[in-house]
Amino acid sequence: MKRLPFSGWHLVLAPLALLFALPLVWLLVSSVMSNAEINRFPPALWPQGINLGGYRYVLGNALFPRWFLNSFIVSAVAVTANLVLGSLGGYAFARIRFAGSKLVLGLMLATMVIPFQLTMIPTFLVMKQLGLIDTLGALIVPSLVTPLSVFLFRQFFVSLPRELEEAAWIDGCGRLRILVSIVLPLARPALSTVAVLTFLATWNDLTWPLIAINSDATYTLQLGLTTFQGQHHTQWSAVMAGNVITVLPVLLGFLLAQKAFIRSLASTGLKG
């Protein structure tokens, strides 16, 4: 690679980037500090050595592994369901002509403007009727498919040339076959966008778990971390270790699939 000449912009951008990174660096650093280092005044700014006491505590004594599993189950089911139901719905709205499709699509898109606070009390009552309150089901059912997922798939499928599917159609392939074997293999950008947005929304959600879940064994990581902090506000290194565990999957996912993340989020802005 050719070395680029030094630019004066570094003097602006380096401190700026550091400002954004610093809180997360501190999160990582304080998670390996000992309680003694944190609890003295003034607290230490850098640890003497790496102390894994916080991690041992949250992985051994607390329910963090359980919460991690709960969050993982909810996110994994939500992502899978959004990919399956979103692509089915999106494909039908893009390609199949059927009575009422325009009306239903319009209605579904209109629901995107409904703020969550307006639906949260009745949704709670619906979940209570279904006997799902305080189970992971209460978290999974409302996130099985979102209008955004259907919409993103529809927009993507509309942009694909129809000719790709026509040969298979004339050969007698059904719609489902065409979707699975011809359209979806071409739909990687749409699949990754929906997966990223669904994962971010479900993994990071706090409001709905707070309402729908009561017992600590059913907490998600976000809810567990928040409660844990309330109960252990003198054991900051353990709280920060729990925080690292909560943030790590999203952070790793972001660093590994940065392009997909950024494209997904930018696309909500440019097309939305």
Q: Considering the rule CB under 8 A, would residue 123 count as an interface residue with other proteins?
A: yes
HSE on the CB side for 132, CA within 13 Å?
Answer: 16
Binding to other proteins by CB under 8 A, coded x per residue (else -) over 63-102, reads ----------------------xx-xx-xxx-xxxxx-x-
| Nearest-angstrom CA–CA distance, 126 and 133 | 9
Residue with tokens 């739909």: 187
For other proteins, which is the closer residue by CB, 3 or 60?
3
Instruction: Read off the amino acid at residue 243.
Output: N
- Shortest approach of other proteins to residue 185 CB, angstroms? 18
Alpha helices in the chain (DSSP H): 10-31, 35-39, 53-60, 64-95, 101-110, 116-129, 136-140, 147-159, 163-170, 175-178, 188-204, 207-212, 221-231, 236-256, 258-271
For other proteins, which is the closer residue by CB, 60 or 270?
270
Per CB under 8 A, contacts with other proteins among 170-199 are 170, 172, 174-175
DSSP state of 99: T
Task: Point out which span in 55-63, 72-80, 186-194, 220-228 binds other proteins (CB under 8 A).
Answer: 220-228
Q: Considering the rule CB under 8 A, would residue 160 count as an interface residue with other proteins?
A: no
| Of 169, 180, 189, 192, the one binding other proteins by CB under 8 A | 169
- Shortest approach of other proteins to residue 122 CB, angstroms? 4
For other proteins, which is the closer residue by CB, 217 or 234?
234
- Give the 3-state secondary structure of residue 224: helix
User: Is the CB of residue 217 less than 8 Å from the CB of residue 66?
Assistant: yes
Task: Give the C-alpha distances (Å, rounded to integers) separating 166 from 116, 162, 174, 178, 239.
Answer: 41, 6, 11, 9, 57
Q: Is 135 exposed, middle or buried (0-12, 13-18, 19+ CB in 10 A)?
A: middle
Q: Considering the rule CB under 8 A, would residue 158 count as an interface residue with other proteins?
A: no
Per CB under 8 A, contacts with other proteins among 222-261 are 222-223, 225-226, 229, 233, 236, 239-240, 243, 246-247, 250-251, 254-255, 258, 261
Per CB under 8 A, contacts with other proteins among 11-70 are 12-14, 16-18, 20-21, 23-24, 26-27, 30, 38-39, 41-43, 45
For other proteins, which is the closer residue by CB, 12 or 52?
12
- Give the 3-state secondary structure of residue 234: coil
| Of 64, 147, 187, 191, the one binding other proteins by CB under 8 A | 147
Q: Considering the rule CB under 8 A, would residue 103 count as an interface residue with other proteins?
A: no
